[in-house]
């Protein structure tokens, strides 16, 4: 029987990329193994990005195969996208167990590496060593493992505690309002999912984390010592990062334009602004960013998406940005619509700074390539990432959102970062 390691990601393109990179790392150390990746399905997901990526990887010589799980009927749409993804993960759990039972007939499964806590209860009879793959930072993992302790210290939601400082072993004190977004409402379904992390982790053979020891020594040591879990065993922690996307696996219409433009710029002269696949701003914030970039006289490469509330996938730059902005900044600045090959850009010789939403993969890429960071967190666990990056790691400077209130003119939306702050930080 062939020996294989089974990887089970969370639904979504970026999670698929992450487990493929993990599979590549395993094969580097154990080339005689094979990798089987379970592909969860998301109803109503009409994007071809994931399928195209899977086809690309399948055409390589790597011993990586993909096993598609059965489709799940669409759920009722809700504004809580995290809750919907978690529900799909729960519904997928039985399909994962069925797939493993089928594979056991023809393969020797050496280990299952999963990103879902829902499947642990169904694995008892399969006797497969199971590890958990955590794609965010060790600091976030420390919070999740410590969540039951924090939960017992208050009856309030974190969102209602505002600037109250929370103390978690291994990380700097953090404002309650900066906790990862799914944890802000203790009555929400996402909160209850993550509340069970500590229990489920104790049942695993270990937790694999996409970080490295010299980047997060405090958090890693706190977890490994058992300080984060007050009641129960702490599983072994394996830091295997930085796992970052292979630039050769990136593609897109913006590739040649952005990289060709960078080729013509001086060394370390360009500030790259990119805010992830889900990072969007209002029209008013786009205008302030544009004014700040123009006044800075700094070379820049800016990835712009459609503003919040827009029904169009493609931003209308002439309408979204200040009149004449593109013409006035032509030559020293380039605005790219929707997407750019971030990995290839960050490793380019011309890039000297990165304004980012503080998604963990983006931070790993910037740190790996030695690019200075301006932290502008937007959602999910990004505020926590920014706090750790700025206060503990000393690897970034923060965008000061306190300037937003004083810079708002009558009739403007509140919470805007000022053009002056953008100008100051990109210089």
Three-state helix/strand/coil letters over 358-413: CCHHHHHHHHHCCCCEEECCCCCCHHHHHHHHHHHCCCEEECCCCHHHHHCCCCCC
Least confident of 47-56, 164-173, 213-222, 339-348: 47-56
Domains by residue range for the chain, with CATH = 2-239 (3.40.50.2000), 248-426 (3.40.50.2000)
Share of the chain above pLDDT 70, in %: 93
Q: Is the pLDDT of residue 333 over 80?
A: yes
Residue 394 has pLDDT above 60, yes or no: yes
Q: What is the dihedral of CA 338, 262, 288, 295, to 10 degrees?
A: -170
Q: Which residue has the higher pLDDT, 127 or 375?
A: 375
Range ranked top by mean pLDDT from 20-29, 117-126, 253-262: 20-29
Please report the pLDDT score of residue 44 as a whole number.
58
pLDDT tens-place string over residues 71-92:
888 877 766 778 888 888 999 9
303: β partners = 336
Q: Are 426 and 296 in contact (CB under 8 A)?
A: yes
Confidence of residue 232 (pLDDT cuts 50, 70, 90): confident
Phi first, then psi: what are they for 3, rounded to 5°? -95, 130
Q: Are 185 and 199 in contact, with CB atoms under 8 Å apart? A: no
Alpha helices for 155-282 (secondary structure H): 189-195, 197-202, 217-224, 254-263
Specify the pairing of strand 299-304 against strand 270-274. Answer: parallel
pLDDT band at 224 (very low <50, low <70, confident <90, very high): very high
Q: Name the pLDDT band for 45 (thresholds 50, 70, 90).
A: low
pLDDT attached to residue 249: 58
The gap between the terminal CA atoms of the chain, to the nearest Å, is: 60
Q: What is the pLDDT of residue 46?
A: 59
Distance between CA 346 and CA 368 in Å, rounded?
Answer: 9
What's the average model confidence in pLDDT over 277-299?
A: 94
More confident residue, 394 or 14: 394
Instruction: Tell me if the pTM is above 0.95.
Output: no
Evaluate if residue 236 carries a pLDDT over 60.
yes
pLDDT of residue 247: 61
pLDDT recorded at residue 313: 80
> What is the average pLDDT score of the chain?
90
Average pLDDT score over residue span 388-414: 69
Q: Say if strands 165-166 and 174-175 run parallel, antiparallel, or are unpaired.
A: antiparallel
Q: For residue 250, what pLDDT band results from cuts at 50, 70 and 90?
A: low
What number is the average pLDDT over the span 378-388? Answer: 91
């Amino acid at each position: 029987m062939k020996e294989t390691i089974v990887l089970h990601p969370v639904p979504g393109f970026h999670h698929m990329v992450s487990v493929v990179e993990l599979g590549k790392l395993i094969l580097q150390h154990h080339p005689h193994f094979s990798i089987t990746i379970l592909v969860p399905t998301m109803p109503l997901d009409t994007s071809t990005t994931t399928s195209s990526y899977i086809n690309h990887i399948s055409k390589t010589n790597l011993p990586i195969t993909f096993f598609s799980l059965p489709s799940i009927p669409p759920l009722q749409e809700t504004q809580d996208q995290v809750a919907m993804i978690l529900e799909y993960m729960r519904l997928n759990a039985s399909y994962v167990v069925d797939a493993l039972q089928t594979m056991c007939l023809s393969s020797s499964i050496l280990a299952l590496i999963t990103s879902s806590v829902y499947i642990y209860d169904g694995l008892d009879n399969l006797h497969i060593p199971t590890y958990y793959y955590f794609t965010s930072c060790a600091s976030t993992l420390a919070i999740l493992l410590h969540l039951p302790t924090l939960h017992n210290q208050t009856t309030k939601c974190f969102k209602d505690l505002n600037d109250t400082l929370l103390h978690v072993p291994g990380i700097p004190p953090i404002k309650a309002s900066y906790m990862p977004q799914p944890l802000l409402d203790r009555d929400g379904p996402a909160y209850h999912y993550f509340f069970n992390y500590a229990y489920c982790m104790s049942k695993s053979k270990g937790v694999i984390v996409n970080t490295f020891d010299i980047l997060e020594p405090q958090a890693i040591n706190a977890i490994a010592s058992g300080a984060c879990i007050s009641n129960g065993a702490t599983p072994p922690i394996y830091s295997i990062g930085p796992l970052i996307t292979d630039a050769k696996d990136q593609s897109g219409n913006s590739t040649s334009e952005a990289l060709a433009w960078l080729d013509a710029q001086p060394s370390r002269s360009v500030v790259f602004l990119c805010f992830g696949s889900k990072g969007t701003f209002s029209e008013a914030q786009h205008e302030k960013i544009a004014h700040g970039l123009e006044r800075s006289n700094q070379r820049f490469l800016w990835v712009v998406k459609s503003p919040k509330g827009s029904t169009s996938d493609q931003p209308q730059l002439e309408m979204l940005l200040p009149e004449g902005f593109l013409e006035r900044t032509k030559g020293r600045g380039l605005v790219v619509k929707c997407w750019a090959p971030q990995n290839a850009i960050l490793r380019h010789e011309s890039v000297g700074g990165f304004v980012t939403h503080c998604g963990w993969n983006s931070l790993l890429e910037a740190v790996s390539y030695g690019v200075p960071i301006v932290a502008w967190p937007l959602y999910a666990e990004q505020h926590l990432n920014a706090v750790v990056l700025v206060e503990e790691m000393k690897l970034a400077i923060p965008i000061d959102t306190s300037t937003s209130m004083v810079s708002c003119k009558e009739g403007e939306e509140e919470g805007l970062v000022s053009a002056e702050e953008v100008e100051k930080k990109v210089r």
